[in-house]
Chains A and B, each alone.
Chain A
Amino acid sequence: MVSIQNLHKKFGKNQVLSGLDLEISEGGIFAVLGPNGSGKTTLIKCLLGMVIPNKGSISVMGENVKNGSAYRHKIDYLPQIANFPSNLKVKELIKMIKDLRGNTTLDQELISLFKLEPFLDKKLGNLSGGTKQKVNLVLTFMFNSPLVILDEPTSGLDPISLLRLKKLIQAEKDKGKTILITSHIMSFVEEISDEIVFLLEGKIYFKGSINELKNKTNQPDFEHAIASILTDNHA
């Protein structure tokens, strides 16, 4: 599905990714974890072609990322910060993204799932953070692409919406999609992910299931396992 070889990226003097190799097979939920500044967002942005790597190659479903922008039809991306043009109404934004990417009918379903009907005629500048995130989620999931990338999907959501989101992610997984998630909320990661990828200092430190991680670190629970990696490596 996704194959990354020897990825290097430097921002000024700051080496963020140093020779990262990663293979992600088709289907399942993968959580990308790591301390602040370990390169999670950079990795995702490289995948999307927003950050241009210094070295290395990335291919998504057999297509090299460097060769044009068409491969992004196969990716749905939820960015970390949802800031939309404040003059637009929610309805207009959804219409506009559909216009740019192609038509879909899934948006109605998602709007009712997140109970966004009362906000459709409001301007995006007047929405609360959580409501913006819901709009963001609708925009992400409405295209039904085989690869879904979610950067901190839980931020700003109330408990009910969080439950709906978890259900939605599970449903997407059952359709056979590959889902890539970054999050700092360990309970959320533990609950939904099939496999985790742990980044440390620009490289993959660990890739495998949560149980494998617990065995490797000799810790009884997930949170402590992660903490022990970080203390052992003085990160």
Chain B
Amino acid sequence: MLKILKYSFYDLMRSRWSYVYFAFYLLLGIVLLFLNNDLSKAVITLMNVIIVLVPLIGTIFGVMYYYNSKEFTELLLAQPLKRSSIFLGQYLGVAISLSMSLVLGLGIPFIFYGLFKSTAIWDFSLLLITGAFLTFIFSALAFNIALSNENKIKGFGYAILLWLFLAIIYDGIFLMSLILFEDYPLDKLSLIGTMLNPIDLSRTLILLKLDISALLGYTGAIFKQFFGTNFGLIVSIAMLTVWVLMPVFRIIFKSKKKDF
């Protein structure tokens, strides 16, 4: 698996898109920091960008990479290699190179800004960690979609729909249900609802870390009580890990049964 990972990673590192993605974050980081001059505001703006953009790029890149390397995958399948190591290697190659673009692209301007001397380092690290988690989650979901759909157009369609659902529609439904059932106690429901969507989970995690939960009212207080503690942090990270592992196991399972 490590060999496949190595080659997928090199292949991606050489492609123009990794540089574009890296340069985008570099520019974003520089602009936000040096024009804004307020570190925690910069982190919030970054969060808003990351929470929407990272899943989108992860999904599109994952699907694109799978379909583009299809013939090459067939070449590998005829070699004495295990199927699970071929697909896991490719998946990790995509996820690691995307996470690297993110972490380096945002990290470099922040280091120059003097991050290590500031108190925002933990908020910022949490931002990068959740960004990396989201990359791993969404590229794994994208590989799942691509493995299940031979048709490229269908695969892309489902991938975009998945992103749209988790990034936008889910919030809408969530909010509607909160308004609809506002007469009932909803704190547990909203906690669970947040846990079930990796994008919401990441957003809540960062917001509460930034100590602006007062803006969120009563629910915010409950959330703060939960997410703000170490227990909440551990549960959230565990939940994000589950979100990575589930699709990864499905990749292994699905790839074993697929015809090429």
Contact = CB atoms under 8 A, between A and B. Distances in A.
Interface of A: 11, 45, 48-52, 68-73, 75, 77, 79, 81-85, 87-88, 96-97, 99-101, 139
Contacts of A88: 11
B117 interface: no
Given A45-B260, A50-B259, A51-B259, A101 B80 contact: yes
* Interface of chain B: mostly helix, strand, loop or mixed: helix
A69 B256 CA distance: 12
A84 B71 contact: yes
A69 B86 CA distance: 12
Contacts of A100: 3-4, 76, 79, 81
A46 to B, nearest CB: 9
A101 B72 contact: no
B78 A77 contact: yes
- Contact-size category for B: 20 to 34
Contacts of A101: 79-80
A100 B79 CA distance: 8
Nearest to A87: B14
B74 A79 contact: yes
B77 A48 contact: yes
A178 B260 CA distance: 24
B256 to A, nearest CB: 8
Interface of B: 3-4, 7, 11, 14-15, 69, 71-72, 74-83, 257-260
A25 to B, nearest CB: 23
B72 A85 contact: yes
A65 to B, nearest CB: 12
B69 A85 contact: yes
Contact of A84 (B3, B72, B77): B72
A69 B69 contact: no
Most buried by A among B15, B69, B259, B260: B259
B78 A11 contact: no
| A-B pairs with lowest CB-CB distance, top 7 | A83-B71, A72-B80, A77-B78, A51-B259, A50-B260, A73-B80, A50-B77
A94 to B, nearest CB: 12
A75 B71 contact: no
A69 B259 contact: no
A72 B259 contact: no
B72 A97 contact: no
- Interface hub of A68, A85, A99 (most chain B Cβ within 10 A): A85
A136 B78 CA distance: 13
Contacts of B72: 83-85
A100 B83 CA distance: 14
Contacts of B258: 52
A85 B78 CA distance: 16
A144 B69 CA distance: 27
B80 A69 contact: yes
B152 to A, nearest CB: 14
Q: Which of B11, B80, B257, B259 has the most CB of A within 10 A?
A: B80
A60 B168 CA distance: 52
Nearest to A51: B259
A142 to B, nearest CB: 12
B122 to A, nearest CB: 39
Given A84-B71, A85-B69, A50 B14 contact: no
Nearest to B13: A87
